[in-house]
């Protein structure tokens, strides 16, 4: 059995553990396998217990010591996905330090990609992208290709947050390739959701209706996803509601609730269940409770945004709506989610409230674009990627007429005359 098999969601934890007393040469590997199987089954206490045991296991040979360090990275990965970023970072550092010997390439790949997840959770998008790219290169070099989807997910989520619409199709194709080549056994649910989110951001919710139905009706896929991604349940419920698929939304709420009940020591699962139930039941109080409980900053912002939108639409309570939306915008800003801030700012503008300053999309240097306002820069960036005015408006949550107004100002300020000229010169403009 290999490490790749460890993360296959159908691997039963009990069958993995039967190897532990057999004197097999790779007992540490078996513990990792059993821990990963428990994770995919939604048994988080068992997963953490086995991950800890694997991380403290020793060995006499170089191969044993390498497995011990890999186990420490797996433990760090579990902690990171459960929201314990501080201890996750410490475990990665411990794995790399090891016994003073140089780490293997597969260890470096796993540790670097774990660091990319930690950076993404912190909102350090530049560090997340750098670590993901380095980790992908190391994983290819070490031929540990089941690590590739993690790097592609981090790059895709970073692009989504920054509104880098030109790369979404590329990352979706990378993840589709990973699935076709059998590399996604680590995280089939996360890969499926990321592809769905990329295509939804580009083409709208209706375009991914079939994917949303597939994810929400596949119990194995949905379970792994809800364990690994604290904001997945609410995203799926929101998407199902847009499609008027109340039965699909109800299924997600039921599954998220069951997972939280079975894992009472993990508040992030209870927060996820509250968030999805609040959306399903139109309960502002549940959404506000979810905001308090969420440990992930992006998920916390999402719950505050949902509460603010519901307050504005259902109760007409402008003051509370503005307060919740302002909290959402501030939290989105801390994790570099420019695209989400644009959406919240659109609602704040509609309510006549002060909007938040938005970091420029894609995190590019802006030397030549400094003459543009933030909205003009965002419009120019998206138009340069080939988006129509209608698609730019959807991404920035403004009308097509407003897009055209800003685009005319961009042309005038930059001294250009057409969309083609903007596309061909934009990279030079923003870097010189």
Q: The CATH number of the domain where 425 resides is what?
A: 1.10.10.10
Distance CA(392)–CA(383), nearest Å, equals 7
* Same domain, residue pair 411 and 375: yes
**Dihedral angle of Cα 421, 367, 387, 157, to the nearest 10 degrees:** 150
| Whole-number pLDDT of residue 338 | 86
Residue 425 counted as domain residue: yes
Phi, psi of 405 (to 5 degrees): -60, -50
- Of 312, 339, 360, the last residue of a domain is 360
Residue 19 counted as domain residue: no
Give the total number of structural domains in the chain. Answer: 2
* Same domain, residue pair 371 and 348: no
* Same domain, residue pair 425 and 383: yes
Residue 54 counted as domain residue: no
Residue 170 counted as domain residue: no
Structural domain containing residue 325: 282-360
* Same domain, residue pair 293 and 355: yes
Cα within 13 Å of Cα(248), Cβ side: 23
Q: Give the C-alpha distances (Å, rounded to integers) separating 273 from 16, 212, 228, 254, 427.
A: 30, 18, 13, 8, 43
The pTM for the full model equals 0.81
* Same domain, residue pair 287 and 307: yes
Q: pLDDT below 50 — which residues of the chain?
A: 1-25, 363-367
CA angle 356, 361, 363 (to 5 degrees): 110
Q: In the structure encoding, which two tokens stand for residue 149, read together?
A: 């989807």
* Same domain, residue pair 290 and 355: yes
Residue 420 counted as domain residue: yes
* Same domain, residue pair 286 and 317: yes
- Of 326, 342, 360, the last residue of a domain is 360
* Same domain, residue pair 287 and 350: yes
Query: For residue 122, with 0-12 CB atoms within 10 Å meaning exposed, 13-18 middle and 19 or more buried, which class applies?
Result: middle
3-state SS class at 9: coil
* Same domain, residue pair 353 and 372: no
Closest CA to 376 of 353, 358, 394, 391: 358
Residue 387 counted as domain residue: yes
- Of 360, 379, 401, the last residue of a domain is 360
Residue 328 counted as domain residue: yes
* Same domain, residue pair 356 and 409: no
* Same domain, residue pair 339 and 353: yes
Residue 137 counted as domain residue: no
Distance CA(403)–CA(414), nearest Å, equals 16
* Same domain, residue pair 350 and 386: no
């Amino acid at each position: 059995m290999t490490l790749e098999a460890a993360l296959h969601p159908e691997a039963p934890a009990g069958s993995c553990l039967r190897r532990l007393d057999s004197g097999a040469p790779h007992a540490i590997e078996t513990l990792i396998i059993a821990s990963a199987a428990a994770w995919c089954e939604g048994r988080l206490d068992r997963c953490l217990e086995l991950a800890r045991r694997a991380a403290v296991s020793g060995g006499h040979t170089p191969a044993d010591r390498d497995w011990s360090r890999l186990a420490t990275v797996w433990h760090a990965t579990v902690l990171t996905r459960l929201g314990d970023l501080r201890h996750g970072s410490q475990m990665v550092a411990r794995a790399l330090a090891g016994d003073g010997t140089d780490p293997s390439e597969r260890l470096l790949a796993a540790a670097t990609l774990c660091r990319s997840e930690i950076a993404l959770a912190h909102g350090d998008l530049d560090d997340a992208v750098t670590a993901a790219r380095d980790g992908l290169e190391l994983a290819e070099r070490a031929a540990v290709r089941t690590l590739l989807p993690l790097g592609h997910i981090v790059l895709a989520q970073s692009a989504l947050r920054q509104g880098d619409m030109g790369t979404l199709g590329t990352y979706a194709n990378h993840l589709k390739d990973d699935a076709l080549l059998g590399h996604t056994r680590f995280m089939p649910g996360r890969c499926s959701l990321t592809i769905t989110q990329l295509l939804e951001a580009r083409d709208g919710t209706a375009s991914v209706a079939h994917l949303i139905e597939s994810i929400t009706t596949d119990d194995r896929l949905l379970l792994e996803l809800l364990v690994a991604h604290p904001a997945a349940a609410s995203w799926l419920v929101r998407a199902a509601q847009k499609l008027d698929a109340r039965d699909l939304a109800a299924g997600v709420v039921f599954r998220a609730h069951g997972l939280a009940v079975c894992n009472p020591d993990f508040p992030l699962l209870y927060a996820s269940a509250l968030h999805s139930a609040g959306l399903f039941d139109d309960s502002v109080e549940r959404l506000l409770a979810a905001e308090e409980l969420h440990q992930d900053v992006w998920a916390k912002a999402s719950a505050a945004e949902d509460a603010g939108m519901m307050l504005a639409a259902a109760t007409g309570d402008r003051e509370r709506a503005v307060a919740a939306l302002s909290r959402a915008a501030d939290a989105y800003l801390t994790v570099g989610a420019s695209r989400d801030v644009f959406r919240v700012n659109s609602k704040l503008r509609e309510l006549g409230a002060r909007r938040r300053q938005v970091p420029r999309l894609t995190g590019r240097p802006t030397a030549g674009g400094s003459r543009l306002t933030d909205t003009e820069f965002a419009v120019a960036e998206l138009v340069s990627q080939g988006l129509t005015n209608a698609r730019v408006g959807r991404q920035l949550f403004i009308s097509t007429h407003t897009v055209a107004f800003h685009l005319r100002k961009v042309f005038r300020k930059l001294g250009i005359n057409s969309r083609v000229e903007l596309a061909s010169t934009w990279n030079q403009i923003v870097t010189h």
